Amino acid sequence: MLHTLPTLADIEAAAQVVYRDFAATPQYRWALLSERLGTDCWLKHENHTPVGAFKIRGGLTYFDQLAQHGALPREVVSATRGNHGQSMGWAARRHGVACTIVVPRGNSVEKNAAMRALGVALVEHGKDFQEAREHALQIAAERGAHMVPSFHTDLLRGVATYWWEFFRAVPQLDVVYVPIGQGSGACSAIAAKRALGHRARVVGVVSSHATTYADSLAAGHVVESPVTTQLADGMACRVADQGALDILMPHLDHTVQVSDDEVAAAMHHLFTDTHNVAEGAGAAALAAALQERGQLQGQVVGLALTGGNVDASVLAQVLTRQV
């Protein structure tokens, strides 16, 4: 499927939809974080949305587009490791639509609880996101429900609003790091950069234990890769989306692969340097910037703290390990 990037007008209209539910999230230049990186470092706090992650923006605009076209269904179905599901639950509740979400077995206990609290009917199925997604497609077909994909133009409209906020608030950014799960965050950074004519380089961050996007970008087509990450569940994707690849390939500056150990260290640093909680994928941008620290001197760096939804037991393990 060909996905068009949202224009500046699309993003500005999407911001008005998003701001009905919450205000623009802050971005701060944290002194300790800048000291650690050895250069000016700005952190965009998408952990401060009502569901603790950036995905809510896309859910709101996806449902708004359905409503504008008179196409609101009675039920939506989707698959997630957590934050996309919370986004769907929030937006579905706002529009009075039933919402069923499929998660893989062994998914985050606290993300599951958060989705149920939003009125989501939760189904646990499969060993990974891809198996959960395939089961969600089957449920949607059986029930005649609307299947919400993890990557879609109408999701990009909303997600791009956080990059639009970031680039406008810190126009001096030279380079930004953004984690890649299913691709909406990185594609939206590209959309906002192009819409505003911003010069920042966009660097994609992939888990070294879930390399489908890195492998696919290198090959120029979708390459399925195994998922073994234990920490970055928001990046635990086995099969890249071709539509996302089509946007990323010509516009990403490069990609960086980060290990679970590097992600854990970044989660620890974000807590000590900013006293913000980051989930694995939420800390991946910092992990990548620290890996490239030697190349960043004198540049203004922007990082996306994309979410803070980490189980307490996992965070406790991260904070008590040596870094």
**Picking from 128-132, 271-275, 293-297, which range would have the lowest pLDDT averaged per residue?**
128-132
Residues of the chain with CATH 3.40.50.1100: 8-53+153-320, 55-147
Whole-number pLDDT of residue 39: 98
**Picking from 31-45, 174-188, 221-235, which range would have the lowest pLDDT averaged per residue?**
221-235
The strand ranges marked E within the chain are 27-29, 41-45, 75-79, 98-103, 121-124, 146-147, 175-179, 201-207, 254-258, 301-305
pLDDT bin (cut points 50, 70, 90) of residue 226 is confident
Give CA 42 to chain center in angstroms.
Answer: 18
pLDDT bin (cut points 50, 70, 90) of residue 4 is confident
pLDDT bin (cut points 50, 70, 90) of residue 231 is confident
Question: Average pLDDT of 213-242?
Answer: 88
- pLDDT > 90? residue 304: yes
**Picking from 150-159, 169-178, 181-190, 236-245, which range would have the lowest pLDDT averaged per residue?**
236-245
Domain spanning 8-53+153-320 has what CATH number? 3.40.50.1100
Phi, psi for residue 271 in degrees, rounded to 5: -70, -45
Distance CA 221, CA 46 (A): 30
Architecture of domain 55-147: 3-Layer(aba) Sandwich (3.40)
Kindly state the helix (H) or strand (E) to which residue 57 belongs, with its residue range.
Answer: helix 55-68
Taking the CA atoms of residue 249, residue 220, residue 259 and residue 163 in that order, the dihedral angle to the nearest 10 degrees is 20
This prediction has a pTM of 0.95
Average confidence score pLDDT of the chain: 94
Question: Average pLDDT of 249-272?
Answer: 97
Percent of the chain with pLDDT over 90: 88
